[in-house]
Structure 1
Amino acid sequence: MSQVKMPAVDAVAGAAKRILDSIKNDPEFGAFRAASLEYSEDWQCFTGFPVVARWNLEADAAPLFEEGLRALALKAAVYEATGDDQAAEVAIAVPVDEMTHAMLAQAQLFARIAARCGVGIIHQTDQEHTDYRAGGYTHDCYRAAWGEPPARYWLDHEEVVRRRGVLAERYESIGMGRSGREHSIDFAAAAA
């Protein structure tokens, strides 16, 4: 983690709100939103979205898209204040982080929007922090900007770890090893 002094919560909140409004007012925002939500056919992560209780892609996609936008706006606000991409990788809850991946997959579209808005969109997998906790810096910044984050998606790190354990046991019971990272299904034999 960066050793940069983190900006004041209120400053980040104000900048994040401005950044989010700017992104939403961009002429290509509608296309960006549609493309991000269309990505749903590829949302097959076994340990990101499924940690949400009673996960339902159709019901949860739109509200989670809003949370992903807010998370990226918070990161962009910290980056704007510090110029440090490592500092900008603030802790994000796992399901929210997973949604940002769907958004970032719209690379050209999102890059054009960010350029017009004059913001740096920060996300690098090897530097991301999915150890979000209520009461931490990200939580404080979010609350100052938009109120209390929805607990359905902004799950504390320890709860995510617990839920991943539950999922791993279920996956293992149907032959999916390492939470969907391997299996021994022989599709040719299964077709016979």
Structure 2
Amino acid sequence: MPAQIPIMPSPADTTRSAQQILSQIQADSEFAAFRAASLEYSDEWQCFTGFPVISNWSLDEDAEPLFEEGLRAISLKTAIHELTGDEHAAEISIAVPVDEMIHAMLAQSQLIVRIAQRLGLSIIHQTDQECTKYTSTCYTAECYRAAWGTPPPRYWLFHDEVIKRREHLAGLYESIGMGRSGRQHSIKFEELAAA
């Protein structure tokens, strides 16, 4: 039996709720610590196919704007869950770089869990349920535009463009011996150490 397509709340309802959730998160007593920890996580940001699809990607320049986009995406997802009670509905389309930032933010689990508990919110994100088929006409884009204006195209890349960029990156990685976009290689570090 095919999965039921969830009934989504109106973009206006999602927008109002997401704006309120974002303000509450930012006003929380541990928000500054959460922000700092999320940005400090940068030394471990080693994804080969998430952030690198951004043109002229720079961790130093892009981390803070991506954090803001991640917060907005989390607020939209949380709003939908709050309005529907449906975890699957909350897994809306998120652009790949923004989704990658959400992973970095959720790695600060004790902080985000405490913030969510104080605010009575459920932060929804499950890798096997997430959707990265973001387009200019999808529900996410409609809600984002209503809440905060035009999504920054540097980070909110359309799904088709991400696929093209990943294919290009895969070829570059392959040329230096990194197979499957960084998921495997044949480097024998023991031989390098012995040389």
TM-score, normalization by structure 1: 0.98
Unaligned segments of structure 2, at least 5 residues: none
Give, in angstroms, the shift of residue 118 of structure 1: 1.6
Partner residue, 2:88: 86
3-state SS in 1 of match to 2:128:
helix
1:53 counterpart (55, 61, 77): 55
Percent of aligned pairs with the same amino acid: 63
In 2: Cα distance, 1:2 partner to 1:115 partner: 29
Deviations 1:8-60 (A, max 9, x none): 00110110000000000000000000000000111000000000000000000
Give, in angstroms, the shift of residue 116 of structure 1: 1.1
3-state SS in 2 of match to 1:124:
coil
Partner residue, 1:20: 22
In structure 2, the CA distance between the partners of 1:52 and 1:2, relative to structure 1 (3 Å rule), is farther
In 2: Cα distance, 1:36 partner to 1:125 partner: 18
In 2: Cα distance, 1:159 partner to 1:4 partner: 27
Task: Summarize the alignment of residues 83-122 of structure 1 with structure 2, pairs less than 5 Å apart.
Answer: 83-122=85-124
Matched, 1:67 2:79: no
Work out whether residues 89 and 129 of structure 1, in 8 Å CA contact, stay in contact via their aligned partners in 2. yes
Q: Which runs of 4+ in 1 moved over 6 A?
A: none
Query: After the TM superposition, which of the residue ranges 159-168 and 116-125 deviates more from structure 2?
Result: 116-125
1:127 counterpart (126, 129, 132): 129
In 2: Cα distance, 1:7 partner to 1:88 partner: 10
Matched, 1:10 2:12: yes
3-state SS in 1 of match to 2:135:
coil
What amino acid sits opposite 2:88 in the alignment? Answer: Q
Count of matched residue positions in the alignment of Structure 1 and Structure 2: 192
Partner residue, 1:147: 149
In 2: Cα distance, 1:162 partner to 1:86 partner: 27
Unaligned segments of structure 1, at least 5 residues: none
Partner residue, 1:166: 168
TM-score, normalization by structure 2: 0.97
What amino acid sits opposite 1:62 in the alignment? Answer: E
Give, in angstroms, the shift of residue 2 of structure 1: 4.8
Deviations 1:147-185 (A, max 9, x none): 000000000000000000010000000000000000000
